Amino acid sequence: DAGVIQSPRHEVTEMGQEVTLRCKPISGHNSLFWYRQTMMRGLELLIYFNNNVPIDDSGMPEDRFSAKMPNASFSTLKIQPSEPRDSAVYFCASSVDRRLYGYTFGSGTRLTVV
Amino acid sequence: DQQVKQNSPSLSVQEGRISILNCDYTNSMFDYFLWYKKYPAEGPTFLISISSIKDKNEDGRFTVFLNKSAKHLSLHIVPSQPGDSAVYFCAAVSSGAGSYQLTFGKGTKLSVIP
């Protein structure tokens, strides 16, 4: 099992550009989560999907952020237009049972907006 | 409003001694708690968990204690090893219907000194 796969590992972009982060969850996991980690706020949940359906996107900071999960094996998080304050590490995680086993996280995408 | 609080941003412990990481929560609906460990440039990995029906769970060198009345949990690592140096996140979940998300603390950076 390759685990949760995120790409790219690092992204540097200019303010105003569109950024797309990608995630492949573990096969068989039916829940997918996007988290953002910053020094000030720690790990904060942006959105989660269950069976490819967005369940709660209340953590998405603003309309510039959008997420999709077109099928069980792929999800994207898009920021458009990007701003310097979006600089953070973005984690994707998947789970089959969030209570008993917790989540499996990917290695993250470090986003820098200059 | 942080529902899960880790008030110590960092902790240094001598190798071989006990490490105690603390976590407080405010939401009485939380009934399952987890600890995650994170190395630099990697995603958090699940370490140990505890249900609210228990007050202690042990796994090798790691023990988690839960005090429901105080809304407090702690992670004990005995004996501490240099490889334990990482950021530790406390997380909580409510098992209410439709709840999928973990709420994380900001993390505590543990340094084990050889």
CB contact residues (below 8 A), chain B span 61-100, against chain A: 89, 91, 93, 95, 98, 100
Per-residue pLDDT, B74: 98
User: CA A27 to CA A95: how far, in whole Å?
Assistant: 10
Considering only the beta carbons, identify the residue of A35, A91, A101 that sits closest to B46: A101
Per-residue pLDDT, A98: 57
Residue with tokens 């460990």: B37
Q: B81, B79, B55: which is closest to B68 by C-alpha?
A: B55
Task: Give the closest-approach CA distance of B16 to chain A in angstroms.
Answer: 29
DSSP bridge partners of A12: A112
Q: A4, A18, A13: which is closest to A91 by C-alpha?
A: A4
Per-residue pLDDT, A99: 57
Verify whether the Cβ–Cβ distance B100 to A98 is below 8 Å: yes
Residue-wise pLDDT for A49-61, tens only, equals 989 999 889 899 8
DSSP secondary structure letter of residue A31: E
Tell how strand B10-14 and strand B108-113 pair up.
parallel
CA atoms within 13 A on the CB side of A1: 9
Q: What's the rounded mean pLDDT across residues A20-43?
A: 92
Q: What per-residue string of b and e applies to B49-64 under the rule 16 or more CB within 10 Å gives b?
A: bbeeeeeeeeeeebbb
**DSSP secondary structure of A14-45:** -TT--EEEEEEPPTT--EEEEEEEETTTEEEE
Q: What's the rounded mean pLDDT across residues A23-45?
A: 92
What is the 3-class SS of A38-89, one letter each residue? ECCCEEEEEEEEECCEEEECCCCCCCCEEEEEEECCEEEEEECCCCHHHCEE
Phi, psi of B29 (to 5 degrees): -80, -15
Q: Is the pLDDT of residue A102 over 80?
A: no
- Flag residues of chain B having pLDDT under 50: none
Which are the contacts of A58, defined by CB distance < 8 A and separation ≥ 6? none
Q: How confident is the model at residue A62 (pLDDT cuts 50, 70, 90)?
A: confident
Per-residue pLDDT, B95: 75
Give the whole-number percent of chain A exceeding pLDDT 90.
73
Average pLDDT, rounded, for chain A:
92
A-chain CB neighbours of B9 within 8 Å are none
User: A103 CB near a chain B CB, below 8 Å?
Assistant: yes
Per-residue pLDDT, B24: 97
Per-residue pLDDT, B99: 61
Name, of A1-5, A6-10, A97-101, the range with top average pLDDT: A6-10
